[in-house]
Structure 1
Amino acid sequence: MSKLKKLGMTAVAISMVGALLAGCGDSAKSGSVGSADKKVELTFWDAAWNEAITPDVIKEFESKYPNIKINAQYNPDNGMSDKYLIALKQKSGPDVININLDWVTPYATLGSLLPLDSYIQTDKVDLNDFFEGSIKSAKVDNKIYTLPYRTETHGLLYNKKLFADAGIDASKAPQNWKQVLESAQKITKGDVFGIGLVGTNFGNLTTQLFNMIQSNGGSILNADNTKSMLNEPAAIEMAKLYVELSTKHKVTPTSILQNDNIANRNLFSNSKIAMYMSGAYDVAPIKQANASIDLAIGMVPADQTRKTILSGWGVSITNSSKNPDAAWKFINFLATPEISKKFSITFSARKSAATDPKYQDPQTKPFVDALAFAQPLPQIPQLTQVKQIVFNQIQSSLSGKITPEEAMKNASKEIDDLLAKK
Structure 2
Amino acid sequence: MIPFLRTLALLLLLVQGIPALASRQLDKERVDIEGMATNAVRAKALLELATSHAEKDVNLSLMHAHDALGLARLSGNDELVHDALTLIAKAQLELGLHAEYMKSTLEALEISRARQDAVSMAADLRALALAYRHSLRPDRAIQESRNALAILLQTKDTVAIDMAYRGLVEELILGGAHQEALRICDQALDRARERNDMLAQARLWLLVGEAMSHQRKFGNALPYLVRADRVLDSLGNREDRFRAAVGRARAALGMGMAEEAASWVDRAERTAASGNPARSAEVLSELRYRVALARGDQATALALLQGIQAARDSMYNARSAQQIAGLQTMYELEVKEQANRRLQEKNDLNEERITAQNARSELLLTLLAVASVLVLVLGASFWNNYRVVRRLRLKNQVIRRQSDEIHAKNMELERNNLRLAESIVSE
Give the alignment's TM-score, normalised by structure 1.
Answer: 0.22
Q: Indicate the structure with greater helix content.
A: 2
Of structures 1 and 2, the one scoring higher in RCO (CA 8 A, sep 6+) is 1
Q: Indicate the structure with greater strand content.
A: 1
